[in-house]
Structure 1
Amino acid sequence: MIGGTTKLFGLMGHPVAHARTSQAMNALFERNGLDAVMVPFDVPGGGSGALSGGAVNVMRRVGEDAFAGDMPDGEGFVAGLAAAGHSVAGRRICIVGAAGAASAIAVALVEWQPAKLTLINRSRERLMALHERLRLRFPDLEIVIGEHVGGHDLVVNATSLGLREA
């Protein structure tokens, strides 16, 4: 039961109706006997007016007026690939999408040393921004902008296509 000592965790974004994070976290809190609850907050703009510094979906308070954040989507994606028997190292990978989740997945994949990373996105501005961030952080990897998914060992759909109602 929620009371005065219950720890509140929020999942902020837009859209959030598709996210199963709250249900998974609440089940984890209950299994472990924790007095905590996670509530999704649908914030148009994904909270960009409330937060600055990039895509974040896990935050914790660090002091009275500051928060630290992370986005573990990428690590979770790579862990899922590994659990299914798929290797990243030495592979030619294509990521379609360039928003928050795509960025997190790209960084996590690159850390496992693929042979090549191709980026595709509708928005040229987001595509170029992601490409530049990755090239600066991983200068030794071949990171290219592409138009076709053919010729890759792994293609990742990190677009919002599946988030829309039919």
Structure 2
Amino acid sequence: MSNRIQGTTGLIGLIGNPLKHSRSPHMHNSAFEKLGLDYVYLCFEVPEEGLAKAIEALKTFNAKGSNITFPHKQKVLNYLDEISEDAKIIGSVNTIKIDSESKKITGYNTDGRGFIASLDELDIPFRNQKVVLAGVGGAGRAIAIQLAYEGVGELCIKELNKSLATEIKETINKYIPNIKVKIVKDDEASLKEELKDSSLLINATPLGMKGREDKCIISSAETLNSNVFVYDIVYDPRETLLMKYAKQAGCKTINGINMMIWQGAIAFKIWFGVDMPQEYVRQELFEK
């Protein structure tokens, strides 16, 4: 990237901890350069107790907004002036926009919308279908609720934290009561049984990501059948252990690259009102 930062350059941030693995700066700064926008996107590793000060700092530095990631997606709700309706129901925010004049902050969640956009882009069936979702913490929470909004036939949740799974189920039952939600037992035999008539399996857990490459939500390809489309939202490594098992079982697979780019593109549109050049960004990040 050329050296284009100057005295007029505006700021977009990413607040979370840890962040050294994040591809978001590369994604957004590539888009800024392509479109000639005088902005820079920077990471700010902030511990949980430092969130309030970090939000105030963004205001002080006239930042246009920020992405919010682990572990702050829920706690940030305490520092917002307004919140979008879907983010309110999801109960977490991953994108904020700061009004340049009033400094009022509006919160959004682009995780679920980005995930759905990636499904629609590739014509992956899920509406009126049975879907199994592993993990409803973090992005999985938004994915679960967005799937319900978009008309999934039945949502089966596999989550070790049963109180969290129950909370998500109750939230969906309250706001989208026509959607059937089931909590899957922890044993793999129960998961295998649910997958027999499911069209889509989603991994929204950290299992399989860089540093946990040997971890997986299943123990072998035998848990799967070839009719299930396997979507692992992990994007580093490009092929997870789950995806390898899925290919052995004859399943179609996809990693989290499309979701990452789509959720970033939706945030980009919130901040600037223009579309992110997604194909250019994809080439910059993954195809060079």
TM-score range with shorter-chain normalisation? 0.7 to 0.9
- Structure 1 residues 19 and 136: alpha-carbon distance in aligned structure 2, compared to 1, 3 A threshold: farther
Q: For residues 71-150 of structure 1, what are the structure 2 equivalents within 5 Å?
A: 71-147=109-185, 148=191, 149-150=194-195
1:51 to 2:96 alignment: no
Contact 1:8/1:39 (<8 A) preserved: yes
User: Which residue of structure 2 aligns with residue 26 of structure 1?
Assistant: 29
**Residues 49/78 of structure 1: CA separation in 2 closer, same or farther (3 Å cut):** closer
8 A Cα contact 1:18 1:163, kept in partner: no
1:162 and 2:172 are equivalent in the alignment: no
Partner letter of residue 140 of structure 1? N
Greater strand proportion: 1
Moved over 6 A (4+): none
TM-score, length of structure 1 as denominator length: 0.86
Q: TM-score, normalised by structure 2?
A: 0.52
Q: Take 1:12 and 1:124, find their aligned partners in 2: how far apart are those partners?
A: 28
2:264 is matched with none
Aligned length: 166
Q: In structure 2, what is the Cα distance between the partners aligned to 1:49 and 1:115? A: 28
Q: Which residue identity does 2:77 align to in structure 1?
A: S
Letter in 2 for 1:25: H
| 1:13 alignment partner AA | G
Residue aligned with 1:15, SS? coil
Cα distance, 1:65 vs. partner? 4.3
Structure-2 change in CA distance of 1:15 and 1:131 (3 Å):
farther
RMSD: 2.2
Larger RCO (alpha carbons 8 Å, 6+ apart): 1
- Residue segments in structure 1 that go unaligned for 5+ positions in a row: none
Q: Percent identity?
A: 29
SS in 2 for 1:85: coil
Q: Work out which of the two has the higher radius of gyration on C-alpha atoms and give 1 or 2.
A: 2
